[in-house]
């Protein structure tokens, strides 16, 4: 059971274009929503994150839009570059008595054409 849904599975964008990846979650107990970037052969790395009390978070070319009532959030990559070609994962997390419990989406493979 995928608690975090992510689409599209793959995305091809021209250099300079906008890349948009969408995620939806089910559990309203989640209180932290990060996006991770992963290059082949490497571990994921935190790209940008948002808390549910904020509707938008922008860092450089990367923006998260968050809709708490719809339980959806999205990543926008402006002026996409070939170096942005990677797999992107959205995630949702909550802290409990045993630690930090993360649920990841299945990932989106982004290819930015030069």
Q: Is 99 in the site for other proteins (CB under 8 A)?
A: yes
> Which one, 20 or 103, has the nearer CB to other proteins?
103
Q: Is 34 in the site for other proteins (CB under 8 A)?
A: yes
> In whole angstroms, how close is the CB of 16 to other proteins at the nearest point?
27
Residue ranges with strand state E in 1-114: 4-7, 10-14, 19-25, 33-38, 45-50, 56-59, 62-67, 72-77, 86-96, 99-104, 108-113
Q: Is 104 in the site for other proteins (CB under 8 A)?
A: yes
Q: Is 22 in the site for other proteins (CB under 8 A)?
A: no
C-alpha closest to that of 9 among 113, 109, 114: 109
Q: Is 53 in the site for other proteins (CB under 8 A)?
A: no
CA–CA separation, 5 vs 111, rounded Å? 20
Give the Cβ contact number of residue 101 at 10 Å.
13
Q: Is 55 in the site for other proteins (CB under 8 A)?
A: no
| Residues near other proteins, by CB under 8 A | 4, 6, 9, 32, 34, 42-46, 48-49, 51, 89, 91, 96-107
């Amino acid at each position: 059971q995928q608690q975090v849904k992510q689409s599209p599975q793959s995305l091809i964008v021209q250099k300079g274009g906008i890349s948009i990846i969408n995620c939806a979650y089910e559990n309203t107990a989640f209180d932290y929503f990060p996006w991770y970037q992963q290059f082949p052969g490497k571990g994921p790395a935190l790209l940008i994150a948002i808390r549910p009390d904020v509707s938008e978070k922008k860092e450089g070319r990367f923006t998260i839009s968050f809709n708490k009532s719809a339980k959806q959030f999205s990543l926008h990559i402006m002026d996409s570059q070939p170096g942005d070609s990677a797999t992107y994962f959205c995630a949702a997390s909550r802290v409990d008595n045993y630690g930090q419990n993360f649920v990841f989406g299945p990932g989106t493979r982004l290819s930015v054409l030069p």
